[in-house]
């Protein structure tokens, strides 16, 4: 009986996908539904028009088969790596399929590029992303359609510059080089820009869509590998399989970097966790010790009566409060200050190159910002607001508060408890007399 349940759930999902009335798309905001139909209509019209206008040669079909086969092979060999990478970094417009799709732009008629994308994303959805976060079919379809639009934009640049494919570029000299470079730049920009409307139709952050520096360098690297793949297929097709091993190594290297970031990041708030914050504080301490005049500050921040929030509103609302407070603290400090979460409702801030008076001013600014914070959340039936938040803050400054990270944290923590004992919702300096 238990063994049949997963099969029954899969069967139910398949029936739901085949029944338009049960599509999850209809439960999304109207702007998302409209955007899905808009981009899918644009992609469909462009594909139909180019399929009728651009003939497909036998060699094109062979190249299509090679690119599709290599793409599926690479996805299969890197399937476990990609699953883990998606779990630690979710940036929908960045993935390794750009190697094959950009190569397709440089080698294939546009309609065949659309078919290539359909094959790669169907395989991605059924194999690499299976059992990851239960991605709704409409999201996979939308992402694939956005790639189709991106490829058409890059192909348009090539045709406008009179270099429709890699074969022509090989004899066009610097004009060919320029055309391919501009097509790659357009591919990169359109891939990011076409996801912009989703910023107004979901609650995900800008960084969640655009990724960090490492994510975007990965996209640049895959475009370069796509260029090399197209060049190889246009000159020595038998060597095209050589692109797979370096791509797998790149894939694994990116995963290792993302795991390092994940190991120092608090999953709930996106702030540094205890390990990550301690590493930064130790580096700042070492830098300060090399300079006789350098000072820095440490703040310990604890939300007052946080248990009551969880008890009254539930833990999901409590999580929303933690995320809102984390964002509030980050907005109240400088870009190069480091904010961490030490667990529960306790936060810590590292303030480099700052004097004692300025540290107290920052702490007071954070306290005031939290005091005026209002957090909206849904209880399942209606939208509710949590207000009247407050925080107690302890302050310590190097070197007066201590000459080691643990000593500074201890001084700030003691000041924090003095603030709580004095009535909460206030800032106490750990270097001042008790």
Per-residue pLDDT tens digits for 81-96? 776 666 665 554 456 7
| Contact predicate 303/391, CB 8 Å | yes
| Contact predicate 229/103, CB 8 Å | yes
Mind listing the domains of the chain with CATH numbers? 24-263 (no CATH), 274-429 (3.30.70.270)
The predicted model gives 344-358 an average pLDDT of: 92
Cβ contacts of residue 344 below 8 Å, gap of 6+? Answer: 306
Q: 197: pLDDT confidence band, cut at 50, 70 and 90?
A: low
How far apart CA 111 and CA 107 sit, in angstroms, is: 12
* Three-point CA angle 193, 266, 191, nearest 5°: 10
Q: 1: pLDDT confidence band, cut at 50, 70 and 90?
A: very low
Average per-residue pLDDT for the chain:
83
| Contact predicate 223/102, CB 8 Å | yes
Q: How many CA atoms lie within 13 A of 28 on its CB side?
A: 19
The predicted model gives 65-93 an average pLDDT of: 76
Per-residue pLDDT tens digits for 137-154? 777 788 889 899 999 999
73 CA to centre of own chain: 25
pLDDT at residue 292 above 80?
no
Per-residue pLDDT tens digits for 253-263? 777 766 777 77
b/e 310-342 (16+ beta carbons within 10 angstroms → b): eeebeeebbebbbebbbbbbbebbeeebbbbbb
Classify residue 191 as exposed, middle or buried by CB count within 10 Å of its CB (0-12, 13-18, 19+): buried
pLDDT at residue 313 above 80?
yes
Q: Give, as one character, the DSSP assignment of residue 303.
A: E
């Amino acid at each position: 009986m238990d063994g049949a349940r997963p099969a029954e759930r899969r069967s139910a999902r398949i029936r739901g996908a085949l029944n338009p009335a049960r599509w999850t798309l209809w439960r999304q905001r109207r702007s998302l539904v409209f955007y899905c139909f808009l981009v899918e209509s644009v992609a469909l019209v462009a594909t139909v028009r180019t399929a009728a206008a651009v003939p497909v040669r036998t060699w094109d079909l062979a190249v299509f088969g090679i690119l599709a086969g290599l793409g599926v092979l690479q996805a299969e060999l890197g399937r476990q790596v990609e699953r883990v990478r998606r779990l630690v970094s979710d940036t929908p417009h960045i993935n390794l399929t750009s190697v094959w799709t950009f190569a397709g732009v440089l080698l294939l008629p546009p309609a065949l590029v659309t078919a290539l994308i359909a094959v790669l994303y169907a395989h991605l959805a059924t194999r690499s992303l299976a059992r990851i976060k239960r991605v709704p079919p409409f999201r996979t379809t939308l992402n694939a359609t956005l790639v189709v639009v991106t490829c058409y934009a890059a192909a348009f640049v090539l045709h406008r510059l009179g270099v429709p494919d890699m074969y022509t570029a090989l004899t066009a000299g610097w004009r060919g080089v320029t055309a391919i470079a501009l097509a790659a730049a357009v591919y990169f920009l359109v891939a990011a820009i076409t996801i912009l409307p989703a910023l107004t139709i979901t609650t995900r952050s800008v960084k969640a869509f655009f990724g960090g520096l490492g994510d975007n360098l990965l996209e640049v690297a895959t475009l370069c590998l796509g260029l090399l793949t197209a060049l190889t297929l246009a000159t020595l097709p038998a060597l095209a399989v050589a692109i797979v091993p370096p791509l797998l190594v790149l894939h694994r290297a990116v995963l290792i970097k993302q795991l390092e970031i994940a190991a120092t990041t608090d999953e709930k708030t996106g702030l540094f966790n205890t390990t990550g914050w301690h590493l930064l504080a130790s580096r700042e301490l070492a830098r300060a010790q090399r300079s006789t005049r350098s000072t820095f500050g440490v703040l310990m921040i604890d939300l007052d009566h946080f248990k009551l929030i969880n008890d009254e509103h539930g833990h999901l609302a409590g999580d929303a409060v933690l995320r809102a407070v984390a964002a509030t603290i980050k907005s109240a400090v400088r870009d190069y200050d480091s904010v961490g979460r030490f667990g529960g409702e306790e936060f810590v801030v590292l303030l480099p190159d700052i004097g004692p008076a300025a540290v107290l001013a920052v702490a007071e600014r954070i306290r005031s910002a939290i005091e005026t914070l209002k957090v909206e959340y849904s209880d399942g039936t209606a939208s509710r607001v949590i207000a009247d938040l407050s925080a107690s803050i302890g302050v310590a400054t190097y070197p007066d508060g201590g000459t080691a990270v643990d000593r500074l944290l201890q001084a700030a923590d003691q000041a924090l408890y003095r603030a709580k004992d004095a009535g909460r919702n206030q800032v106490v300096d750990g270097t001042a007399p008790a």
